[in-house]
Amino acid sequence: MSDARIEAYAHAIVEIAEAEGNLAVVENELFRVARAVESSDQLRATLTDETIPAVRRQAVVEALLGSASNTTTQLVGMVIGSGRGRDLPAIIDKVVKRAASSQGKEVAEVRSAVELTADQQARLAAALERATGKQVNLKVVVDPSILGGVVATVGDTVIDGSVRSRLDQVKSRL
Amino acid sequence: MRLLSLIAAEDPTQTHHWLLPETAEIIYGGLAFLIVATGLWKFALPEMKKALAARSAKIGDQLKNAADTRAAAEAEATSIRQAIGDISGERARLLAEADSQAAAILAEGRARVSAEIADLEAKADADIAASRSRSSDELRAEIAQLAAVAANSAVSASLTPGTQQDLIEGFINGVGAAR
């Protein structure tokens, strides 16, 4: 799908969420959905399989989102139902960026091998704001593949403090 | 007539000498001899001389022809001998040329084989060196892979919850101190 179409979907979702008055909740839930779709080949294959009826794919989304808000469930169902499941992560990333920029913030995607506590998230957001000079909207993704530590991405800046990268450096040095 | 009557009147049994014939007979005989000898001398002798001269000429011609034939045969023999000599020389020359060509071909073949052997040896050396280097690289990569796996296992085993929290705190502190 073209960038313009992705932008159009993202714009529509942000407008609907703002109209519903729960943009912050929706963009958080959407972010988790996007990461779930990215990390699961089976889920991605199911949502993008044109041979599976759209109604059934929407049912999968509803089952997946279980405790999510109705707005989130309906918005994801709308994207899947219109046959744009393949572009769902890209659309959601645009939604998150739009939501952050509407608040004058930059999205800070943080990957950690374990869950971060609320205190750690707050201190990390503050540290990233000091380091980048930007207000950040922290998005935490639990990613066991990095083994340990944290990888933070703010715009084009990547701060990699993961054990995985250290091991890769050792491996390349070897 | 008179002569005939004398011959008829003579008695053969009544001779005047036991050895010599009668005088008349000697005369007649002598005259007949002279006539015959004269005839022979005058008519037969020239023909005989002519025939003898012709025969002599014929024999001379034959001798000359034989001499010519002999000379031609000797010349031919000389030519053949010379030709044989030439053939021997040509044979010797051809043999020498063949020997020379064979020696040149042999030398060229030896040089080519030597060059090919040198090339093969160089290629084999290069292959051995490349193989050694490849083996070394593969061994190094294998060691690195094993070391990486070992390091991965060791690090993963040492990543306790406490360590994870230490890493997170260290990251937060490090990022916060970066500016």
pLDDT at A90: 87
pLDDT digits 0-9 by tens, A88-147: 888 888 888 888 888 888 889 899 999 999 999 999 999 999 888 888 888 888 888 888
Residue type, position A95, single letter: V
| A150:B151 CB<8 A | no
The per-residue b/e assignment along A108-128, b for 16 or more CB within 10 angstroms, e otherwise, is bbbbbbbebeeebbebbbebb
Q: Which of A116, A127, A174 sits opposite B144 (nearest CB)?
A: A174
Q: At what angle do helices A54-65 and A23-39 cross, to 10 degrees?
A: 110
Residue type, position B23, single letter: T
pLDDT digits 0-9 by tens, A23-61: 888 888 888 888 888 888 888 888 888 788 878 887 887
**Sign of CA pseudo-dihedral A111, A115, A118, A124:** negative
pLDDT at A157: 87
pLDDT at B9 exceeding the cut of 60: no
Cβ contact A131:B176 at 8 Å: yes
pLDDT at A160 exceeding the cut of 70: yes
Q: Which of B145, B164, B176 sits opposite A114 (nearest CB)?
A: B164
Segment B67-80 mean pLDDT: 93
d(CA B116, nearest CA chain A) in Å: 41
pLDDT digits 0-9 by tens, B60-72: 999 999 999 999 9
pLDDT at B66: 94
- Does B178 contact A at CB distance below 8 Å? yes
pLDDT at B13: 60
**Could you tell me whether strands A136-142 and A106-112 are parallel, antiparallel, or unpaired per DSSP bridges?**
parallel
- Alpha-carbon distance of B22 to B28, in angstroms, equals 10
pLDDT at B102 exceeding the cut of 90: yes
Token pair for A38 = 């990215």
| B155:A167 CB<8 A | yes
| A120:B175 CB<8 A | no
Angle at alpha carbon of residue A42, lines to A38 and A44, rounded to 5°: 45
pLDDT at B98: 94
| Chain centroid offset of residue B49 CA | 60
Phi, psi (deg, nearest 5) at residue A69: -70, 160
A137: helix, strand or coil:
strand
Phi, psi (deg, nearest 5) at residue A141: -120, 125
pLDDT at B96: 94
Q: Rounded to 10 degrees, what is the CA torsion of B15, B21, B22, B24?
A: 160
Chain A residues near residue B143 by CB distance under 8 angstroms: 174
Cβ contact A148:A135 at 8 Å: no
- Alpha-carbon distance of B76 to A46, in angstroms, equals 114
Segment A75-96 mean pLDDT: 83
Give A135's contacts (C-beta < 8 A, 6+ positions apart).
A103, A104, A105, A106, A129
Q: Quick one: DSSP state of residue A86?
A: G
- pLDDT bin (cut points 50, 70, 90) of residue B55 is very high
CA distances from A168 to A162, B12, B140, B141, B144 (A): 10, 177, 16, 14, 11
pLDDT at B1: 52
pLDDT at B87 exceeding the cut of 70: yes
pLDDT at B123: 93
pLDDT at B51: 93
- pLDDT bin (cut points 50, 70, 90) of residue B3 is low
The per-residue b/e assignment along B21-49, b for 16 or more CB within 10 angstroms, e otherwise, is ebeeeeeeeeeeeeeeeeeeeeeeeeeee
- Alpha-carbon distance of B33 to B21, in angstroms, equals 15
